[in-house]
Amino acid sequence: MVIGNTSAIAHSFKDLIFGPSNTMASVIANELLEADHTEYLSALIELGLVLFCVTVVINIIGKRIVSKFTND
């Protein structure tokens, strides 16, 4: 909500840090109910899949690190 919901690639460093932007989660939240054709809908679900995969990978890396540093 506070990120500004703007789908654009920043052209300058100032824009990148201070300009409005978008995250994967905010795109899904804002656009899923507006998606009016199948490709649009599929793209948003694909975004959800990417988000899911990222969290799974980070989770598994985290598990590896924990198991590496505990003495079992």
Partner 1 sequence: MEAKIGFRTATSLIFKGVIILFAFAIAIPLIVILFYIIRQGVTQVNWTFLSHVPAPVGEKGGGVLNALAGSFILVLMSSVIAIPVGMMAGIYLSENPKTRLAYYAGLCVDILQGVPSIVMGIVVYFWIVKPLGTFSAISGSVALAIMMLPIIIRSTEQTLKMLPDSLKEAALSLGVPYHKVILKVIVPCGFAGILSGITLSIARVIGETAPLLFTAFGNPYVSGHIARPMESLPHLIFTYATSPYDDWHNLAWGASFILLMFVLVLNIVTKVITRKWKVQL
Interacting residue ranges for partner 1, rule: CB under 8 A: 1, 25, 28-29, 32-33, 44-45, 48, 51-52, 55-56, 58-59, 63
> Given the complex with partner 1, which of 8 and 41 has the nearer CB atom?
41
> Given the complex with partner 1, which of 12 and 67 has the nearer CB atom?
67
Q: Rounded to the nearest 5 degrees, what angle is found at the Cα of 22, between the Cα atoms of 18 and 27? A: 165
> Given the complex with partner 1, which of 8 and 53 has the nearer CB atom?
53
- How far apart are CB 45 and partner 1 at their closest, in Å? 6
Of residues 47, 2, 41, the one with CA closest to residue 27: 47
* Contact (Cβ atoms closer than 8 angstroms) between residue 3 and residue 22: yes
Rg over CA atoms, the chain: 17
* Contact (Cβ atoms closer than 8 angstroms) between residue 23 and residue 50: no
- How far apart are CB 58 and partner 1 at their closest, in Å? 7
